[in-house]
Amino acid sequence: MPDKPLAGKRIIVTRARRQAGTLAQRIEALGGEVIELPTIEIEPPADFGAFDAELTRIESYHWLIFTSVNSIDPFLARLNHVGKSVMDLKKLKTAAVGAATAERLAAAGISLDLLPARFQAEGILEALDAESMCGKRVLIPQAASARDILPGTLRRWGADVTQIEAYRTVAPACDSGAVKRRLQRGEVDIVTFTSSSTASNFSQLFGGAALSSIVGNAAIACIGPITAKTVQELGGKVAILARQSTVDGLIEALVEYCTTASVTDTRSN
Integer-rounded Cα Rg, in Å, for the chain is 20
Specify the range with the lowest mean pLDDT, choosing from 136-145, 172-181, 244-253.
172-181
Instruction: Provide DSSP, 236-249.
Output: --EEEE-SSSSHHH
Q: Which one, of 101, 109, 91, lies nearest residue 143 by Cα?
A: 101
Mean pLDDT of the chain: 90
In this prediction, residue 100 carries a pLDDT of 85
Phi, psi of 87 (to 5 degrees): -65, -25
In this prediction, residue 263 carries a pLDDT of 45
**CA 174 to mean position of chain CA atoms:** 21
Buried b (16+ CB within 10 A) or exposed e, 227-261: bbebbeebebebbbbbebbbbebbbebbbebbeee
Binning pLDDT at 50, 70 and 90, where does residue 1 land? low
- Decide if 158 contacts 133 (C-beta within 8 A): yes
Q: Please say if the pLDDT value at position 6 is more than 50.
A: yes
Binning pLDDT at 50, 70 and 90, where does residue 15 land? confident
- On the question of a common fold for 10-40+172-268 and 43-169, the answer reads yes
Higher pLDDT, 59 or 120: 59
Q: What is the mean pLDDT of residues 155-176?
A: 89
Q: Please say if the pLDDT value at position 66 is more than 80.
A: yes
- Decide if 198 contacts 173 (C-beta within 8 A): no
CATH ID of 43-169, from 3.10.450.50, 3.50.50.60, 3.40.50.720, 3.40.50.10090: 3.40.50.10090
Q: Which one, of 167, 166, 154, lies nearest residue 61 by Cα?
A: 154
Binning pLDDT at 50, 70 and 90, where does residue 106 land? very high
Distance CA 14, CA 17 (A): 8
- Tens-digit pLDDT profile for residues 195-232: 899 999 999 988 899 999 999 999 999 998 989 999 99
**Within 10 A of 189 (CB to CB), how many other CB atoms are there?**
21
Instruction: Provide DSSP, 171-204.
Output: PPP---HHHHHHHHTT---EEEESSHHHHHHHHH
The amino acid present at 18, given as its one-letter code, is R
- Decide if 166 contacts 75 (C-beta within 8 A): yes
The amino acid present at 24, given as its one-letter code, is A
The domain ranges of the chain are 10-40+172-268, 43-169
114: DSSP letter: B
Distance CA 60, CA 91 (A): 9
Name the CA dihedral angle for 140, 143, 145, 146, rounded to a multiple of 10 degrees.
-40
In this prediction, residue 266 carries a pLDDT of 40
Q: What is the mean pLDDT of residues 43-59?
A: 94
222: DSSP letter: E
Q: What is the mean pLDDT of residues 154-165?
A: 96
**CA 34 to mean position of chain CA atoms:** 19
In this prediction, residue 244 carries a pLDDT of 86
Distance CA 97, CA 226 (A): 13
* DSSP H/E element including 36: strand 33-36
As a CATH number, domain 10-40+172-268 is 3.40.50.10090
In this prediction, residue 151 carries a pLDDT of 93
**Within 10 A of 61 (CB to CB), how many other CB atoms are there?**
20
Binning pLDDT at 50, 70 and 90, where does residue 99 land? confident
- Decide if 152 contacts 178 (C-beta within 8 A): no
Q: What is the mean pLDDT of residues 6-17?
A: 90
Binning pLDDT at 50, 70 and 90, where does residue 262 land? low
Q: What is the mean pLDDT of residues 72-81?
A: 96
Q: What is the mean pLDDT of residues 37-64?
A: 93
Binning pLDDT at 50, 70 and 90, where does residue 239 land? very high
In this prediction, residue 268 carries a pLDDT of 42
